[in-house]
Structure 1
Amino acid sequence: MTILNWTVFLTGLRIMKKQSGKVANPAKNNLIEPEIIDKAVPEIPEIKGSVKAADEKAAIFRAYDIRGIAGKTLTADVVYDIGRALGTSAKEHGCKTVAIGRDGRISSPALADALAKGLVSTGQNVVDIGMAPTPVLYFVAQHTEGRSGIMITGSHNPAEYNGLKMVINGETLAGERIQQLRQCIDKQAFATGETGSIEQNGRFINEYIGTISEDIRIARPMLVVLDCGNGVAGELGPVLLKTLGGEVVELFCDIDGTFPNHHPDPSKPENLVELTAAVKHYQADLGIAFDGDGDRLGVIDSNGKIIWPDRQMMLFAKDVLANRPGAEIIYDMKCSRHLAEQIKKYGGRPLMWKTGHSFMKAKLKETGARLAGEMSGHIFFNDRWFGFDDALYSAARLIEILSRDTRSSAEVFADFPDSINTPELNVALAEGENFTFMERLFAAADFKEGKITTLDGLRVDFPQGWGLVRASNTAPELAIRFEADSKDALSDIQAQFRSLMKKIKADIRLPF
């Protein structure tokens, strides 16, 4: 271990608050105690006037979720009206019950309360599962009458952000469906009638753990370092892995909505420094990282190397296709071109699609694909699981696969092709400027030696690699990635993109 990593590791150990750096023994019965409170009809307070979706508030209605700064663009009043719009939509689809949950952010309890009050004002009965990872909310929605669920979460965004991820009648809301909510709020066209009820019910946590435990079989004990980044998976994640029979070293598993140790985004290398150091220090079989709401997965192999999601997908595709030959496997435009080759190698049919958990789930439902994955770490198993993005299940599935192999995780992943590539690079711009920049980029693009794909952003494939620029739908920024067969090829591709992007915006600050 380098001096830098060792220092970072020791610093991390000093600031951990709960069982950090301690190897926990497997505990088959170490389940979270549920809290069940009887149904009650809530008193609906008078809200300070109805909220119009003004220009600055309209920006929170994004491509595949609702997201804004808590207390500014996303207030309790705004979420109350969003709840009324969602309750109206649910009622139009014949739903009478909606499950809700929240992450561990400081603003989440108040926003969840406003959401519940908005829903019940339209006649919906609310099942409030309390603080839980987003995949648990999806799981509850799958098993609740009406198949509807809404999660209050800022996901991997900074602590001041929050948002909503929404499923109505089994459909994850995206695009036009989200804009329809805004239009409903603008028109104040809310359903009315008898007030619904709120039931606070925590029993689903144990049902979720039990369902995964029935599906996953660990062939041999494995030592796993788990970094939850102080996100909402910090309580459930260690319990799940111990229940499956693993040994767990916990890093930052105390839930803290200020994220004091590092940002809860495993797609950024700087957020995996402590995890990498701990894997090496404990000589662990594997390192696992979750994002702020537990639907994105990060992986470190036994040698301390980051295994990016497109390479995770190579292993997952091999496993799925062993039992589902010929299945379609979906991946987003940020993934390695080697992923499609590996899917074909193991008898599958690769399909490139748009980035975004909502878009992925819709395509999964449309095609019947058995697996989907994004470079951001959203993994969707649809062979033995329910087709939603679930980092906890994906981690368990990864441990199951690796436990069946006598080799180390580093040796297992070494079987799959690698390349010279960048992680996702981001360029911050003004709100909305990322989309206008892309419009100009599309118009100016002229890559004579490359094949241009504009399914989601601008991807250009060359004989020796590719580059991608797209507008992020979760933040006002550009998302950029490159891959090539050699350093020279990578530099050449980056130079072509740099030249074009500088022509459009001369003062743009590029991280490559």
Structure 2
Amino acid sequence: MFPKPRQDLRPNTAEFERLPFVKATGFREYDARWRYPEEINLLGLEAVGLGLADLMRMRGVPQRVVVGHDYRSYSASIKAALINGLLAGGAEVHDIGLALSPTAYFAQFELGVEAVAMVTASHNDNGWTGIKMGIERPLTFAPDDMSALKDIVMNGRFSPHNQSGRYIFVPDMPERYMADLLKRPKPMRALKAVVSCGNGTAGAFAPRVLAELGVTVVPLNCELDYTFPAHNPNPEDLAMLDATRDAVLEHGADLGLAFDGDGDRCGVVDNEGEAIFADKVGVMLARDIAARNKGALFVADVKSTGLFLTDPVLREHGAKTLFWKTGHSYIKRYSHETGALVGFEKSGHFFFNPPLGRGYDDGLVAALAVLDMLDRNPGKSLAELKSALPRTWQSPTMSPHCDDEVKYQVVDRVVDHFQKLAANGDSLAGQKVRELITVNGVRIVLEDGTWGLVRASSNKPELVVVVESPTSEANMRAIFAEIDAELGKQPEVGAYNQKI
């Protein structure tokens, strides 16, 4: 019987090499993320693979799993340990090698395989590892799935079985994935695009696909380098967006496309070098899609711009948008359940459901949607399409540090504070509170539509703060000052990654 993992070992102890070690907080809301080797060892990863195989057996899901890995110095070793556990649990493993997360999701459909376990820490700093998992395509794990897996692994509830595992290496899945993306008409417009990959895994895919579609590609940090020498491959980080801006202006490009570490997100910079936050890109795409699909239903996460509800063009086309919890797994699942045509998340995860896509997040599919939008608007630049949106003043995503063990309790206290304030009819930033949305932390909406959000990050020891105003920068800053003052009263909250 596989031993129950411990979470009190350290890499410099003798037991670290002979006992499974797993920090329980690595099982997050819908992903698994650990610092390696500080928070998990290879035997611990075998336990996770064994637990995933057991969970599939318990759920009555055929034990067939697509497994891939991103480009980090240790990812292949992590994947090998995970595969050992899956095989020990009797699973049939389809190893697609180095891959993007959407390549693994595509492989589920291409191979007719039910489950996925993609080894990636996405945009997290080097030193992190993780696994994106799902047992029902195109969905990834929900919190109840993660809780069940955590219980199996951390309590050693591995069930005996007589089933043999099977290993299948699939050498050509990257080529099959890219060929699938290329089954489409080439853009009519001649476009030049800066393709910015932050030295992440997308550098092996995005430039090639876009070039074969006829886009003039200006590669930026597309060489794979797991040390991320320029900046983290995160299209929400200003360092990546600023580098992309500079390249767009230097080369006179029509746009910049910035891909995250595992290729499931895409950030956009316009021809004037201005970064367009992903939720505003979502509104632009929703306009384009709604014009061809009257009465379309969209889903957006609670971090997203209020324009999804107030934009006059979307209203003209009869489009409707539902807000839901932030997180790629939540938006993917809710879009699937509601039958929404597209789900948009402010971090850049976009989910195009049939007939536009297969329902999973793919940064290249999002990039192609932006190119299609430009193709359908001949003579208009990306900056002009952005300027056609009603103006709002919006912050970037701000993330003050807060340890995983306490971040949810801190958010509960903050939610309670603003609920009491609203119940008492008190003013906030000089206005009354019109609405509190509490599906994920708290989104405080004021009388003029100015809003601010506080929630716990799903995959890092951080909180998430976003503010926006449709009326003025002063009102945006005023609501941030109120939120920041309340967070300042919480001793567990640390420094911000960036701040307005």
Match of 2:33 among 60, 67, 73: 67
Q: In structure 1, what is the Cα distance between the partners aligned to 2:494 and 2:268? A: 32
Structure 1 residue 503 displacement after superposition: 3.5
Asked if structure 2 preserves the Cα contact closer than 8 Å seen for 1:264 and 1:292, the reply is yes
Q: In structure 2, what is the Cα distance between the partners aligned to 1:102 and 1:115? A: 11
Match of 1:169 among 136, 161, 175: 136
Structure 1 residue 401 displacement after superposition: 1.7
Asked if structure 2 preserves the Cα contact closer than 8 Å seen for 1:424 and 1:480, the reply is yes
RMSD of aligned residue pairs (Cα, Å): 2.0
Structure 1 residue 50 displacement after superposition: 4.6
Structure 1 residue 494 displacement after superposition: 2.1
SS at match of 1:182: helix
Within the alignment, does 1:118 sit opposite 2:118 as a pair? Answer: no
What residue is the counterpart of 1:156 in the other structure? 123
What residue is the counterpart of 1:26 in the other structure? none
Structure 1 residue 216 displacement after superposition: 5.0
Gaps of 5+ in 2: 9-20, 427-431
Q: Superposition pairs for residues 30-429 of structure 1, below 5 Å? A: 49-52=3-6, 57-92=23-58, 93-170=60-137, 171-185=139-153, 186-190=155-159, 192-215=161-184, 217-342=186-311, 343-382=314-353, 383-405=355-377, 406-429=379-402
Residue 51 and residue 504 in structure 1: after superposition, are their counterparts in 2 closer, same or farther (change >3 A)?
Answer: closer
What residue is the counterpart of 2:485 in the other structure? 499
Residue 388 and residue 506 in structure 1: after superposition, are their counterparts in 2 closer, same or farther (change >3 A)?
Answer: closer
Q: In structure 2, what is the Cα distance between the partners aligned to 1:367 and 1:140? A: 25
Match of 2:462 among 463, 469, 477: 477
Residue 374 and residue 86 in structure 1: after superposition, are their counterparts in 2 closer, same or farther (change >3 A)?
Answer: same
Asked if structure 2 preserves the Cα contact closer than 8 Å seen for 1:53 and 1:182, the reply is no
Asked if structure 2 preserves the Cα contact closer than 8 Å seen for 1:222 and 1:403, the reply is no
Q: In structure 2, what is the Cα distance between the partners aligned to 1:137 and 1:145? A: 12
Q: In structure 2, what is the Cα distance between the partners aligned to 1:87 and 1:344? A: 47
Deviates more, 1:342-351 or 1:463-472: 342-351
What residue is the counterpart of 2:15 in the other structure? none
Q: In structure 1, what is the Cα distance between the partners aligned to 2:248 and 2:460? A: 31
Residue 372 and residue 174 in structure 1: after superposition, are their counterparts in 2 closer, same or farther (change >3 A)?
Answer: same
What residue is the counterpart of 1:16 in the other structure? none
Residue 216 and residue 124 in structure 1: after superposition, are their counterparts in 2 closer, same or farther (change >3 A)?
Answer: farther
Gaps of 5+ in 1: 1-45
Residue 340 and residue 216 in structure 1: after superposition, are their counterparts in 2 closer, same or farther (change >3 A)?
Answer: farther
What residue is the counterpart of 1:12 in the other structure? none
Q: In structure 2, what is the Cα distance between the partners aligned to 1:173 and 1:191? A: 24
Asked if structure 1 preserves the Cα contact closer than 8 Å seen for 2:406 and 2:492, the reply is no
Structure 1 residue 85 displacement after superposition: 1.2
Q: In structure 1, what is the Cα distance between the partners aligned to 2:315 and 2:41? A: 48
SS at match of 1:427: coil
| 1:93-150 deviations in Å (ceiling 9; x for gaps) | 3313211000001120001001111111122111111011100101111233342111
SS at match of 1:298: strand
SS at match of 2:97: strand
Residue 72 and residue 470 in structure 1: after superposition, are their counterparts in 2 closer, same or farther (change >3 A)?
Answer: same
Q: In structure 2, what is the Cα distance between the partners aligned to 1:196 and 1:286? A: 47
Deviates more, 1:237-246 or 1:167-176: 167-176
Structure 1 residue 417 displacement after superposition: 2.0
Tell me the TM-score normalised to structure 1 length.
Answer: 0.87
Number of matched pairs: 466
Structure 1 residue 294 displacement after superposition: 0.5
Deviates more, 1:410-419 or 1:100-109: 410-419
Asked if structure 1 preserves the Cα contact closer than 8 Å seen for 2:407 and 2:456, the reply is yes
Deviates more, 1:90-99 or 1:346-355: 90-99
Higher relative contact order (CA 8 A, sep 6+): 1
| 1:428-461 deviations in Å (ceiling 9; x for gaps) | 1233232121121122221431121111111111
Structure 1 residue 90 displacement after superposition: 2.5
Structure 1 residue 242 displacement after superposition: 1.1
What residue is the counterpart of 1:14 in the other structure? none
Q: In structure 2, what is the Cα distance between the partners aligned to 1:357 and 1:191? A: 34
| 1:477-509 deviations in Å (ceiling 9; x for gaps) | 111011112122123212322333334449855
Asked if structure 2 preserves the Cα contact closer than 8 Å seen for 1:83 and 1:117, the reply is yes
What residue is the counterpart of 1:487 in the other structure? 473
Deviates more, 1:446-455 or 1:465-474: 446-455
Q: In structure 2, what is the Cα distance between the partners aligned to 1:50 and 1:355? A: 33
What residue is the counterpart of 2:447 in the other structure? 463
Q: In structure 1, what is the Cα distance between the partners aligned to 2:89 and 2:489? A: 52
Structure 1 residue 327 displacement after superposition: 2.1
| 1:148-198 deviations in Å (ceiling 9; x for gaps) | 111000011110001000011324112011110111121332353232221
